[in-house]
Structure 1
Amino acid sequence: MWLVIICLCLAHICSISRGPRWLFYLTKPIPAALLTILVVNSPSTVYPDYTRYIALGLAISVMGDIFLMLPTDKFRQGLICFLVAQVSYGYAFLTRINSFEPLWLPIMFASVGVIVFLLLLPNMGKDKWFVGSYFVGILFMACNATLAWFNVTTPLTSMAMIAAYIFIMSDLVLAIDRFRSSSAFSRHVVMFTYYTAQSLFALSVIWAA
């Protein structure tokens, strides 16, 4: 299954600039769908809530992938899907947190989020409320992943935290491409980092099973 997922991810990344379009549309949502199946079929008896929330986040990501790949601009609908996915991931990591220390960590994430949001704000237009809400969601996810790692440093929490930061990198490149300046390879970077983050989220469940 993993070989199929890797091949589909590479095929989609190549099809961004080379086509054909049918391959682009076919391959974009399937990796997240297959990762969902892998997680559902590898339930953790130790962390059942963690498994459910990760699986839910991956499943909703499939819907977000479909919205964002449509020829018509469905950016807001896709963003809402990924907001729900980030909240689901955030709750998954919340189940691994016993203590919310250090207290400076949420403040740091919030401060960085505000700075990045203000830098992008002049070009957001009417999307600002959707983007702002998404910022809250992904920072909630990343902060919880980091707190879980601070609580107990294990391969599971380390992998989840790395995945959270890679996801932020993916979304930051996407935001810069959409609201600041576009580049020829930005979408390739977005999808490579996106697939990497989602795969690590799935692996954090499979390895814990």
Structure 2
Amino acid sequence: MKNIAHRSRFWSIAELSIYVIQLAFIVIQFVAHDLKINWLFYISKPAPTALLILLELLIWKKTYNLQGEIPKFTQVLLSIGIILSILGDICLIQNIGGITFGIGTFSFLIGLGCFIIAFYPTKRGYIKGIFIRTMIVMISCTIITFLIVYRGAKNSAIDIVGVFLYMTMQSILVSTFAAQPQTDQFTKLGLLGASLYCLSDILVIINHGLKIADQIEGRGDRTLIPLFYYAVMLTYYAAQFMIAYSVRRWENIDSKNNESFSIQSSNNYYQYQPGGQQQTLFYAE
């Protein structure tokens, strides 16, 4: 028993240590960004995201007894999504001749796709009504975002397609998390993470579009959103962490599977029995 307690304490300390290191890297990259210490910035910017792989594949499993509980495809796709996000970060930092910017954007897009598929609720299914309603809201946000940046994007077909494609993927990501049965705090945390991810990208798109519009209209190059870089990076880091941390929904999954729970979907009221079987209790007119 003492050995088990010591191991548990070790992994808890390791988890806390990683959190401290992540926060340290975030602070360092802000300092490096402001002081233009490029080599330090290149190292520190992707580091907090990279450490999520260690947390997801090892430390959280040991700390929260997730061994064998997280679906393999979720682990693999989540890890790939994080790696692609890191690649996107690195490419956007370099931005060599505009080529790496395209590679970075594409990496983020594929990474979003990995997150969407990784957390597809295979056992309990979508609440389709919520998915559709959330998609309508998110599409409205996409249209509003495009209208804001229209002056800067109207002369570039690539920018127009890019905005709609990126926002569509973000819309699906948020809707995917929203449409999952919100039966525990970790699923809700994943939804918050997806929403922050979308917010971070909206800030980037709006700022980029307005800057291009200003350049076209001869107003020079300026940052139009106060503390823009800090807002984008803090929401981005928080989003990545929350999405990854939501794997804790599989903590003690065996005990959860022995409990039934109820959710309301559109006009149907469902009860989920042990084993994830769905039973329609009644249909509301």
SS in 1 for 2:239: helix
Q: 1:203 is matched by which residue type in structure 2?
A: Y
Aligned equivalent of 2:190, options 157, 160, 171: 160
Determine the structure 1 residue equivalent to 2:173. Answer: 141
Determine the structure 2 residue equivalent to 1:93. Answer: 119
Q: TM-score, normalised by structure 2?
A: 0.67
- Distance (whole Å) between structure 1 residues aligned to residue 250 and residue 23 of structure 2: 21
User: Which ranges of structure 2 fall in alignment gaps of 5 or more residues?
Assistant: 1-17, 212-222, 252-285
Q: How does 1:1-209 map to 2 (within 5 A)?
A: 1-41=18-58, 42=60, 44=66, 45-48=68-71, 49-72=73-96, 73=98, 74-95=100-121, 98=125, 99-102=127-130, 103-124=132-153, 125=156, 126-148=158-180, 151-181=181-211, 182-183=223-224, 185-206=227-248, 208-209=250-251
Aligned alpha-carbon RMSD (Å): 2.0
Q: TM-score, normalised by structure 1?
A: 0.89
- With a CA cutoff of 8 Å and minimum separation of 6, indicate the structure with the bigger relative contact order: 1
Greater gyration radius: 2
Q: How many residues align?
A: 207
SS in 1 for 2:179: helix
SS in 2 for 1:46: coil
Q: Could you tell me how far 1:37 is from its partner in structure 2?
A: 2.2
Q: Could you tell me how far 1:207 is from its partner in structure 2?
A: 6.3
Structure 1 consecutive aligned stretches of length 4 or more whose deviation exceeds 6 Å: none
Q: What is the identity percentage for the equivalent residue pairs of Structure 1 and Structure 2?
A: 23
**Contact 2:148–2:206 at 8 Å: present in 1 too?**
no
Q: 2:151 is matched by which residue type in structure 1?
A: P
User: Which ranges of structure 1 fall in alignment gaps of 5 or more residues?
Assistant: none
Q: Could you tell me how far 1:206 is from its partner in structure 2?
A: 4.6
